[in-house]
Amino acid sequence: MARERTTGRKAAYRRKNQNRFSMVLVGLVVVLITVAVAMRSMELTQRNEELSEKEAQLQQQIDYEQQRAEEIEEFRKYTQTKRYVEEVAKEKLGLVYEGEIVFKQED
């Protein structure tokens, strides 16, 4: 009977140690997972900032190109006017209206 008590106490002691070891192991796993998640979160935050900067740059480029497209459209409309044709004819081709007098400065 004394032997049964001793064996029972030893078994209880072993179970207690196994439970403690299991709890430490589970705690270690939880800490490792927490560290891994925190590191990944920092990486994703940094990547998000980089992409936000790139998005801002691309939006600025889009705005510039839209403004440039508007200027080109305005120039296209201007080139279809009579005033533009007259300017080009006078400046580049040296043409004048009939009866118009042109004064040139001597060099």
Higher-pLDDT residue of 14, 66: 66
Please state the pTM of the whole predicted model. Answer: 0.54
* Residue 98, pLDDT score: 86
Q: Say how many C-beta atoms besides its own lie within 10 A of residue 102's C-beta.
A: 8
In angstroms, what is the C-alpha Rg of the chain? 43
Q: Say how many C-beta atoms besides its own lie within 10 A of residue 40's C-beta.
A: 10
* Residue 90, pLDDT score: 85
At 57-100, the pLDDT tens digits run: 999 999 999 999 999 999 999 999 999 998 998 888 888 888 88
Domain residue ranges of the chain, discontinuous segments joined by +:
2-91
Q: How far apart are CA 51 and CA 25, in angstroms?
A: 39
* Residue 20, pLDDT score: 86
∠ at Cα 90 (84, 92), nearest 5°?
A: 90
Residue with tokens 């207690």: 16
